[in-house]
Structure 1
């Protein structure tokens, strides 16, 4: 079975202060962020994984280093956010479910091992960390039944953080894409998930990986934390 995976790497990543795309930032072990993502995907899914990367800013730098991946170009990378980049990628991946991740996530490869059961069951999920809840991160709440209820940076009373690795099932994909097409250009893809929950009855599972590392690298201190986790 082909596992469709998407890496969102179109943005400029200006907060980190690098010239190259943020996904090409070199880690302490000598790999780039994107290289460790590719290796983690291959370790979990082998040749069954089809990797599609959304590129924009300095796209040629990424394509040159990863020529075997499939690419979707967001020419409006400087005017849109992850909602529109993900919409383009989902449109290019056929009918099946899709695992996707932000292009700046440094993560424990065991996270994808843990995700395999949900992917095989075609259960939509968001990977979460309940160990901390920072104001600047995407936070979430759950329904009494345990499904994701609210999911955004503005959530009040969040019980954990989303860590940027997610899966949308085949049955939920069309509704999610419809909502992504509706949201504002500057919205994150989480807004599309929230609308699909509210209007389409999407049941989104919080997959807890609090015992494993997953760091979204936005600032220099995040890079330090990611490098420390690799030791």
Structure 2
């Protein structure tokens, strides 16, 4: 089974204040954020994997750094959010399930190793932790059966943070595509997931990686924290 992985890397990442796309930010071990993602993907799934990167802002720098992967262009990268980048990627990857990552997440390689069995079983999931979360972070709740119920920055009483590593199964993919078409240009992809749960009955499992590190690098202090782990 070839695993299809998407990295969302179209945004401008202006909050970090760097001249290059945020995924090309160098970590303390000399790798870029995106290089550690590639390394983690290979560690979990070997060479039988197809990586598709959604690019926009200063795309030539990412393509030059990683010439051997597939690319999807979000030409409206400065007018849209992750919902429309993910939509483009899902439409470009055929009927198979897709594992996708935000392009600014620095994470423990075991996060993908732990979830590999669900990927191979083609079961939709969202990777989460149960840490205390702030207003800026994407939070989640679960239903009575333990499946994801709500997932957004606006969730009240969230159980923890959704860390930006997710999988949509081949059976659920078309429903998510249709809901991503519906959402506003400035919505995050999580809004599409919520709508697919509400209107299409998708059952999406939370995968708890609270014992592992996963840092979404938005600000300089996030980068400092990520560098404590790598």
TM-score by length of 2: 0.99
Matches within 5 A, 1:31-42: 31-42=31-42
Structure 1 segments of 4 or more deviating over 4 A? none
SS of residue in 2 equivalent to 1:178: helix
Counterpart mapping for 1:9-20 below 5 A:
9-20=9-20
- Three-state SS of the structure 2 residue aligned to 1:47 is coil
Aligned to 1:160: 160
Structure 2 gaps, min length 5: none
CA distance in 1, matches of 2:31, 2:120: 29
Q: Counterpart in 1 of 2:179?
A: 179
Distance in structure 2 (CA, Å) of the matches to 1:121 and 1:131? 28
Matches within 5 A, 1:197-216: 197-216=197-216
Distance 2:204 2:57 in 1: 31
Deviation at 1:53, TM superposition (A): 0.1
Q: Does 2:50 match 1:50?
A: yes
Secondary structure of 1:186 counterpart: coil
What's the CA shift string for 1:107-155, capped at 9, x where partnerless? 0000110011111221100000102222210000010110000100000
- Partner Cα distance (1:164, 1:200) in 2: 22
Q: Distance in 2 between matches of 1:22 and 1:188?
A: 17
Tell me the equivalent position of 2:24. 24
Distance in 2 (CA, whole Å) between partners of 1:200 and 1:129 is: 25
Find the aligned partners of 1:118 and 1:47 in 2 and give their Cα distance: 18
Distance in 1 of aligned mates of 2:32 and 2:85:
21
Deviations 1:20-42 (A, max 9, x none): 00000000000000000011101
Answer yes or no: is 1:3 the counterpart of 2:3.
yes
1:190-228 per-residue CA deviation (whole Å, 9 max, x = no partner) reads: 000000000000001010000000000000000011001
Tell me, in whole angstroms, the C-alpha distance in 2 between the residues paired with 1:48 and 1:181: 30
Deviates more, 1:42-51 or 1:12-21: 42-51
Structure-2 separation of matches of 1:123 and 1:35: 26
Q: Does 1:101 align with 2:135?
A: no
- Equivalences for residues 116-195 of structure 1 within 5 A: 116-195=116-195
CA offset digits 1:64-88 (Å, max 9, x no partner): 0100010000010000000000000
Q: Distance in 2 between matches of 1:171 and 1:153?
A: 27
